[in-house]
């Protein structure tokens, strides 16, 4: 088995070849480290002195046209990995080998649930048992508490690098430090957190700089299955310190090509009506002024939800343009999907899975073997529907967001 390969029960071809794409050979890591190394020195005593290396990216590294393979014998294993993927995966794998995670991520059994949705279910028992218990959260607008666990308290070595873009990118606003660090209880291969400068003590409320970093991280990856997401307080965020999630999943998800209908005349806000859950769709074809405008619209929407104590989840993925699309549609741009939902504080221990950003997108990390073997599409949909807003409140939120978007025209 090659150095970065992990076994999986996913269909032969798609999973194994896509996983190869995020593999980093020793030679590739060495080439990338000619200028800067994202690996920790051998002696643990030197970790703090090493400091956090910068990953500085340029406009031309924001990749467009990345697609899933049309056939199983794909050419993705021969496709050059992006510099971002090489840096992240080499550093992430080293931290796994050094034991900095709560558990070693081994084989994840994976299956697509029979049915029309295409849920991707994965058995991840260790995460269900060993992840840090959520903080005591009682409000979507809760203030940051420095006494609770936060990302200023992590161990040396958990930070992979600082994500920085060159300041001369077109339309670029003031750059803020974004730290890329391991999630010590990983969902999947390469699971990281994107954290704005932790010393600011920002609560878990989405800000434009954080969302911009998340969208551009997706664009920096040459892997079509690298996604980024955000859970609000009450939306199963377990730490009240601003962060986004990023991870690789070598499977298409329903939200990438789900059809939508416009909610405003300008087509800037769409409604995803397809399963697994209705959500608000924002779309951009790529980097540039349209991306900056999208970031502003999304954050105005999440500000409204936060101010009105409405929990929410957000998912960023390469995807098809809005309209009458299909699961196999080409990934022509970036989809940002926003779900308003019922607040849920704490973890429901008896459920097969907890509903947050990846579950709403169609990726189901399952806690027990029994649930993994018995879960049906109908049961998964019932769990998700139980977390959605009542119809009357959902209509009220939709009307409010449409009105917010209309202000852009004034």
Which one of the listed residues 191, 223, 241, 243 is annotated catalytic?
A: 243
- Alpha carbon dihedral 103, 104, 106, 110, in 10-degree steps, equals 40
Cis previous bond, 96, omega within 30: no
Bridge-based pairing of strands 311-319 and 226-231 is: antiparallel
- Nearest by Cα to 176 from 166, 194, 164, 168: 164
- What gap in Å lies between CA 114 and CA 128, rounded to an integer? 24
- Long-range CB contact pairs, 330-334, < 8 A, 24+: 330/67, 331/66, 331/67, 331/68, 331/224, 331/256, 332/285, 333/64, 333/283, 333/284, 333/285, 333/286, 334/215, 334/218, 334/219, 334/283, 334/284, 334/285, 334/286, 334/291, 334/294
CB count within 10 Å of CB 153 equals 10
- In terms of Cβ atoms closer than 10 Å to its own Cβ (0-12, 13-18, 19+), residue 125 is middle
CA within 13 Å, CB half, 264: 20
CB count within 10 Å of CB 115 equals 13
- What gap in Å lies between CA 190 and CA 253, rounded to an integer? 18
Q: Find how far residue 275's CA is from the centre of its chain.
A: 19
The DSSP H or E segment spanning 312 is: strand 311-319
CB count within 10 Å of CB 110 equals 20
CB 224 within 8 A of CB 68: yes
308 catalytic? Reply is no
Active site residues: 243
């Amino acid at each position: 088995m090659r150095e970065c390969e992990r076994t999986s029960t996913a269909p032969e071809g798609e999973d194994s070849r896509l996983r190869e794409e995020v593999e980093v050979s020793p030679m590739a890591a060495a080439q990338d480290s000619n200028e800067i190394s994202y690996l920790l020195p051998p002696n643990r005593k030197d970790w703090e002195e090493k400091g956090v290396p910068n990953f500085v990216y340029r406009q031309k590294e924001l990749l467009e046209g990345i697609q899933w393979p049309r056939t199983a014998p794909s050419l993705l294993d021969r496709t050059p990995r992006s510099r971002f993927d090489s840096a992240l995966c080499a550093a992430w794998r080293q931290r796994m080998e050094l034991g900095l995670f709560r558990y070693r991520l081994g084989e994840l059994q994976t299956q697509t649930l029979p049915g029309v949705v295409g849920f991707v279910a994965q058995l991840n028992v260790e995460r269900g048992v060993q992840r840090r218990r959520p903080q005591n959260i009682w409000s979507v607008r809760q203030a940051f508490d420095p006494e609770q666990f936060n990302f200023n308290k992590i161990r040396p070595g958990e930070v992979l690098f600082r994500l920085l873009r060159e300041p001369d990118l077109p339309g670029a606003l003031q750059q803020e430090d974004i730290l890329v660090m391991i999630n010590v209880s990983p969902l999947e291969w390469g699971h990281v957190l994107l954290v704005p400068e932790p010393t600011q003590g920002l609560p878990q409320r989405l800000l434009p700089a954080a969302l911009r970093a998340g969208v551009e991280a997706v664009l920096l990856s040459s892997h079509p299955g690298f996604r980024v997401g955000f859970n609000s307080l009450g939306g199963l965020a377990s730490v009240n310190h601003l962060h986004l999630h990023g991870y690789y999943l070598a499977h298409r998800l329903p939200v990438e090509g789900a059809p939508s209908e416009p909610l405003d005349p300008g087509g800037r806000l769409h409604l995803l009506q397809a399963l697994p859950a209705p959500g608000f769709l924002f779309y951009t074809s790529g980097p540039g002024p349209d991306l900056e405008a999208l970031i502003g619209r999304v954050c105005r929407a999440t500000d409204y939800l936060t101010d009105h104590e409405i929990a929410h989840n957000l998912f960023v993925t390469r995807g098809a343009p809005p309209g009458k699309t299909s699961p196999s549609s080409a990934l022509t741009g970036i989809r940002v999907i926003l779900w308003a939902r019922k607040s849920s504080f704490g973890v429901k221990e008896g459920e097969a899975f907890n509903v947050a950003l990846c579950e709403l997108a169609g990726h189901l990390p399952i806690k027990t073997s029994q649930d993994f073997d018995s879960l049906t599409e109908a049961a998964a949909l019932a769990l998700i529907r139980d977390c959605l807003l009542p119809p009357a409140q959902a209509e009220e939120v939709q009307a409010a967001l449409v009105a917010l978007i209309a202000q852009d025209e004034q």
